[in-house]
Chain A
Amino acid sequence: KNQVEQSPQSLIILEGKNCTLQCNYTVSPFSNLRWYKQDTGRGPVSLTIMTFSENTKSNGRYTATLDADTKQSSLHITASQLSDSASYICVVSAMEYGNKLVFGAGTILRVKS
């Protein structure tokens, strides 16, 4: 069973709308939780990195939240743009495995005009 589960698997929204992507994880203990954006045919690009003591972190129109008690994180995208169309991947750095990254399967977001 994947230790990092993301939902929804895919999502279509209209340009200008907001959306929230979910991430549940079982990796414990962990060093940090990251959200990456991966455009088709490209490598992942970091959006946010949070340690277990952080509850929220923003990067422009992206805001990530973390609840270490329930082992849940979310990524909120505000005022979506066509260029936000990509796969969004939740990644947990696992202390047990020498801080190796454990990847979620990603949420594919498509923003329509």
Chain B
Amino acid sequence: GAVVSQHPSWVICKSGTSVKIECRSLDFQATTMFWYRQFPKQSLMLMATSNEGSKATYEQGVEKDKFLINHASLTLSTLTVTSAHPEDSSFYICSATFYEQYFGPGTRLTVT
């Protein structure tokens, strides 16, 4: 139980385009989902906290207009990277909370 999926697992997009990443809790309802970013050989950095039906709370330094988060249901949260640039290339990981945080497998984003 407590499986979190992400889609896609990897994506390549051109600079200036937008890309959407989905995070789903497959067998439980998650009132809170978190989005993290991880650069090579670095730790996970929390980007934002997403609660179902309300606006996401962004960490300091994270541009909310660039990283759009939608938590439309108790099993789905989406992260849209708008006007992506090469420096946005990273590993994006979501987690969903059901008494405990369960992490998704991550999405590798490469912006060319």
- Give Cα distance in the complex from A41 to B106, angstroms: 7
List residues of chain B with CB within 8 A of the CB of A41: 91, 106, 108
Min CB–CB distance B8 → chain A (angstroms): 13
Q: Quick one: which of B76-112 are within 8 Å of A by CB?
A: 91, 93, 95, 100-106, 108
For B4, B6, B102, which residue has the most chain A Cβ atoms within 10 angstroms? B102
* B62 located at the interface, meaning its Cβ lies under 8 Å from any Cβ of chain A in the complex: no
Question: Would A106 and B103 count as touching, CB distance under 8 A?
Answer: no
* A19 located at the interface, meaning its Cβ lies under 8 Å from any Cβ of chain B in the complex: no
Q: Is the interface of B mostly helix, strand, loop or mixed?
A: strand
- Give Cα distance in the complex from A104 to B101, angstroms: 16
Q: Can you give 18 A-B contacts (C-beta < 8 A)? A: A36-B103, A41-B91, A43-B6, A43-B93, A43-B104, A44-B44, A44-B93, A44-B103, A45-B103, A46-B100, A100-B46, A100-B49, A101-B46, A101-B101, A103-B43, A104-B43, A105-B42, A106-B43
Interface set of B (CB-CB < 8 Å, partner A): 4, 6, 41-46, 49, 91, 93, 95, 100-106, 108
Interface set of A (CB-CB < 8 Å, partner B): 2, 36, 41-46, 49, 89, 100-101, 103-106, 108
